[in-house]
Amino acid sequence: MALEKRLTDLIIAFSRLEEAFHKTKNVPEDMYPFFRDAAIQRFEFTVELLWKVIKEFLKKKEGVEYRSPKGCAREFFSAGYLSEEEVKLLLEMIDDRNLTSHTYHEEVAEKIFRDLKLYIPLIKKVISILEQKVV
């Protein structure tokens, strides 16, 4: 799949994540778990697309190939696209994405959802970097 198409898919997925996250703030208390879980599901597929776009970008633009999400994140940092703090957060985000299958534990679900407020701006920044570099 072409890098441009993957990036477009990522942008769409991210907008759906933002939508779900923001809607959660205005729902009745009894509906909160449903909307929180929807936001977490959207987070899961957004992060999956994010690392795959970074992987394709690194292969096409930097000439390097990685097979793991964390390897891609570290190389994206090494290539100068993210700060040390940002890559640490990106690695944390990947760990949380891996925990999404355990959101039946309330503590896990709440932690992931609470951290979305940190992850959303980072995802937005990475998308912006990619949009500038993919032409």
CATH at residue 32: 1.20.120.330
Q: Vertex 109, ends 103 and 110: CA angle to 5°?
A: 165
pTM of this prediction? 0.93
Q: Which domain holds residue 91?
A: 3-133
Task: State how many domains the chain has.
Answer: 1
For residue 80, the 8-state DSSP code is T
pLDDT digits 0-9 by tens, 83-134: 999 999 999 999 999 999 888 899 999 999 999 999 999 999 999 999 999 8
